[in-house]
Amino acid sequence: MDECIFCRISQGDIPADKVFEDDTVVAFRDLNPQAPTHILVIPRRHIATLNDIDNDAEAIIGRMYGAAREVAAAEGLAEAGFRTVMNCNEAGGQTVFHIHLHLLGGRMMHWPPG
Ligand code: 5GP
Ligand code: ZN
């Protein structure tokens, strides 16, 4: 997926402020943060949307949440709390079609979300 911006970040072809990486996932700071801390956790494997998760990919989703938990703790967000969000397709607000978990913290979150 040469044209996918998040695949290129995962491969190191495009710079990003990475805070965590392992064989399965990469986490980096969002370019347009919506909270004092706004980090994206992506799988290295290209998966376009949550609709495209198959049985094999369910383990990847688990690892994404595990990494989000580790990053939240490292960023000092665990005790106060934080939000994780994955947008799916147009009505869900998805703009980059390589799945990513938003990790947002450092301020009070509102509900319902906009
Ligand atoms: P979505 O709207 O698809 O749920 O979220 C996409 C997110 O990716 C947005 O928050 C946007 O700011 C972020 N983003 C898009 N392009 C880049 C980029 O090249 N680098 C980084 N770090 N974030 C990006
Ligand atoms: Zn991709």
| Locus of tokens 């906009």 | 114
The pLDDT tens digits for 44-63 are 999 999 999 999 899 999 99
Q: Is residue 111 one of the residues assigned to a domain?
A: no
Candidates 3, 7, 32, 83: which one to mutate for ligand 1, based on the most atoms within 8 Å of Cβ? Answer: 32
The token pair at 111 is 């509900």
Contact 105, 85 (CB under 8 A): no
What is the C-alpha to C-alpha distance for residues 69 and 4, in angstroms, rounded to an integer?
A: 26
Name the residue among 86, 93, 31 with its Cα closest to residue 57.
86
For residues 27 and 3, what is the distance between their CA atoms, to the nearest angstrom?
19
Structure tokens at 45: 């494997």
Question: Percent of the chain scored above 70 by pLDDT?
Answer: 99
Q: Would residue 98 count as lying in a domain?
A: yes
Neighbours of ion ligand 2 (CB under 5 A): 1, 4, 6-7, 46, 98
CB-facing half-sphere around the CA of 57: CA atoms within 13 A: 15
Within a domain: 15: yes
Residue ranges making up the domain that contains 62: 5-105
Domain total for the chain?
A: 1
The preferred substitution site among 40, 41, 88 for testing ligand 1, maximizing ligand atoms within 8 Å of CB, is 40
CA atoms of 106 and 95, how far apart (whole Å): 24
Residue 113 within any structural domain of the chain: no
Confidence tier at 1 by pLDDT (50, 70, 90): low
* Residue 112 within a domain: no
pTM of the model: 0.98
**CATH at residue 79:** 3.30.428.10
